[in-house]
Amino acid sequence: MSNDGGNVFLALLTGAAIGAGLGILYAPDEGAKTRKKIKEKALETKHDLSERISHATEELTRTADAKKVEFEQKLENTLSDMSYKADDIIATLERKLEELRKKNAQFQK
């Protein structure tokens, strides 16, 4: 779930809850019925929000886990590539050192 989508949904849900609450308050029912309706709507909204938060948390956890695995794989690949490059550099430096030793030996004769 993207952050903007979650914000829009939360705004719509909040607006719906406020609208329902105002509708109940202005309805021509007696106080006990109105309070009962408000309580039911509040519990229903609480349940809906809890489900959405739970779903968002699960999705965020899945996404974070997937990104962690992806990062670890990229890190492993990078370290592996660097290891091969380091081996190539060492081999090249060893060849150059051997060449310099040979040249130095020629000069010392």
Question: For 74-84, how does the pLDDT look when each residue is reduced to its tens digit (9 = 90+)?
Answer: 999 998 888 88
Count structural domains, the chain: 1
**Tokens at residue 29, please?**
């029912």
- Cα 50 to the chain's mean position, in Å? 20
Cite the DSSP H helix spans in 1-109: 3-26, 31-108
d(CA 45, CA 64): 28
> Minimal CA–CA distance to 9: which of 43, 49, 37?
49
By CB atoms closer than 10 A (0-12, 13-18, 19+), residue 2 is exposed
Put simply, whether the predicted model's pTM sits higher than 0.75 gets the answer no
pLDDT digits (tens, 9 = 90+) for 36-64: 887 888 899 889 888 988 998 999 999 99
Which range of residues forms the domain containing residue 17? 3-108
SS3 label, residue 28: coil
Confidence of residue 2 (pLDDT cuts 50, 70, 90): low
